[in-house]
Amino acid sequence: MAEIHTSPDTLPAVSTRMHTPGGTALQGLGRTSRRDFWWLQPGIVAAGFGAFIVYSLFSALVWQPMFHVPYEVDGYLSPFFSPLIQPNWLPWWISPAVLILWIPLGFRTTCYYYRKAYYRSYFADPPACAVGEPTIHRRYAMERAFPFILQNIHRYFLYLAFIPLLFLWIDALYSFVNTGPRFGLGGLVLLVNAGLLTGYSFSCHSLRHIVGGRLDCFSCSSLARVRYRAWQRLTGLNQDHMLWAWVSLVSVALADLYVRLLAWGVLVDPAIRL
């Protein structure tokens, strides 16, 4: 017998091996051993977002300038346009929505839930769990490099998002009195929409972090204990962040549609006037 190797080897050794483990997974878009309908969920998400994007672009940018359907009628303002800013220098063909819509757009684009959803549905990165990706983006650096490193400013969009949110509440409440006291379906629609958007904003991961996630010790001071209780509440909301994201997305589109249909004359707002 021959001795071939004598060293106090350490295992696991820190080596300069590959950055990833180097296995035998199937590569290439859609390659997988999964036998279920893995494409269904990303497909539904892609279709849902797609419908919203098409509708909201049309409604916010085109509907009024091109087809002259107003976004404000009878004391109701579409949530896409709130707060309404109409400077004189704005040409007629640019909708005032662009001055405000970038805030919720930025908030949702950098949102941790939406990121998951569009990375899967639109970037196929990955299309579904344990399903191969297009080899074209195998080497890109994801959220380590531009542009996706910008996702880290999510919290600033959160701060900004509270501004239009405040106005949506004002709009909704004001709609009950601004044309004389009335209780209209439109007011209710705006109110529900503001509530759902509030739920979405308060279930934000960044807010949860700012309120309590930064602390390592929840019991170390009375302020920390207050923050812990708030963090617990936000954690409860945060668990359903995906749900909030979807219902608020649908509600904002429906609220806009409702106002537009009133303005178009298709619907009449059922209201009790006092």
Partner 1 sequence: MSRARDQYETHAHDVLVIGAGGAGLRAAIEAQAAGASVGLVCKSLLGKAHTVMAEGGVAAALANVATDDSWRTHFRDTMLGGKMLNNWRMAQIHAQEAPDRVRELERWGAVFDRTRDGRILQRPFGGHSHPRLAHVGDRTGLEMIRTLQDRAVASGLAVYMECTITRLLTDGDRVIGAIGYWRTTGDMVVFRAKAVVLATGGIGRAYQVTSNSWEYSGDGHALAYEAGAELIDMEFVQFHPTGMVWPPGVRGLLVTEAVRGEGGILRNNENDRFMWRYLPDERRHEYAETDSEASRWVEALREGRQTDARQPPELSTRDNVSRAIYTEVREGRGSEHGGVYLDISYLPPELVRRKLPSMYEQFRELAGVDITTGPMEIGPTCHYVMGGVRVDAETGASTRTGLFAAGEVAGGMHGANRLGGNSLSDLLVFGQRAGVGAAAFAKEVAPDKPGSGELALAGTELAAPFDHHSGTNPYRLHAELQATMQSLVGIFRTAEDLETAIERLGELRAKWATIEVSGPRAYNPGWNLTFELKNMLICSEAVARSALQRTESRGAHSRIDHPDPDPAWAKRNSVVSRDGDQMRVGHSRLPEMPAELRELITP
Partner 2 sequence: MPVGRTHRLRHLRVFRGTPEDGGELVEYSVPVQEGMVVLDALHWIQANRAPDLAVRWNCKAAKCGSCSAEVNGRPTLTCKTRLSDLPEDIPVQVEPMRTFPLVRDLVTDVSWNYEVNRRITPFTPPEDAPEEAWRWQQEDIERVQEFRKCIECFLCQDICHVLRNHETRNPFMGPRFLVRAAGLELHPMDRADRTPYLRDGGGIGYCNITKCCTEVCPEHIKITDNAIIPLKERVADTYYDPVQVAWRKLFGRRSEGGSGQPIPGQPSADGS
Reading the block at residue 105, the tokens are 């757009």
Q: Decide: is 222 part of the binding site for partner 2 (CB under 8 A).
A: yes
CB of 256 closer than 8 Å to CB of 76? no
Cβ 76 vs Cβ 255: under 8 Å? no
How far is 274 from 272, CA to CA, in rounded Å? Answer: 7
Answer yes or no whether residue 217 interacts with partner 1 by CB under 8 A: no
Gap between the Cα atoms of 189 and 92, Å rounded = 29
Residues 8-27 that bind partner 1 (CB under 8 A): 8-12
Indicate which of partner 2, partner 1, none lies near residue 7 (CB less than 5 to 8 Å, by partner kind): partner 1
Write down the least CB distance from residue 222 to partner 2, Å: 5
* Per-residue buried b or exposed e for 44-62, using 16+ beta carbons within 10 Å of the residue's own CB: ebbeebeeeeeebeebbbe
**Does the footprint of partner 2 cover residue 266 (CB under 8 A)?**
no
Question: Is 193 an interacting residue with respect to partner 2 (CB under 8 A)?
Answer: no
187 CB-near residues (< 8 Å, 6+ apart): 76, 172, 175, 176, 271
- Asked whether position 272 contacts partner 1 by CB under 8 A, the answer is no
> Of partner 2, partner 1, none, which one does residue 88 interact with (CB within 5 to 8 Å by kind)?
none
Residue with tokens 């739920």: 199
Give kind and range of the element (H or E) at residue 269: none
Minimum distance, C-beta of residue 225 to partner 1, in the bound complex (Å):
13
Residue 264 in contact with partner 2, rule: CB under 8 A: no
Binding partner 1 (rule: CB under 8 A), the pick from 15, 24, 88, 219 is 219
- Please work out the total of residues on this chain that contact partner 1, with binding judged by CB under 8 A: 13
Question: Residue 101: CB partners within 8 Å, gap ≥ 6?
Answer: 60, 80
Q: Judged by CB under 8 A, does residue 22 bind partner 2?
A: yes
Contact partner, 3, from partner 1, partner 2, none, Cβ < 5-8 Å per class: partner 1
* Alpha helical stretches, state H, 131-240: 154-174, 185-202, 205-208, 222-238
Token pair 């044309």 is found at 179
Q: Tell me if 11 contacts partner 2 by CB under 8 A.
A: yes
Binding site for partner 2 (CB under 8 A): 11-15, 17, 19-27, 32-36, 112, 115-116, 119-120, 125-126, 129-130, 132-133, 138-139, 141-145, 148-149, 152-155, 205-206, 209, 213-223, 225, 228, 238-239
Binding site for partner 1 (CB under 8 A): 1-12, 219
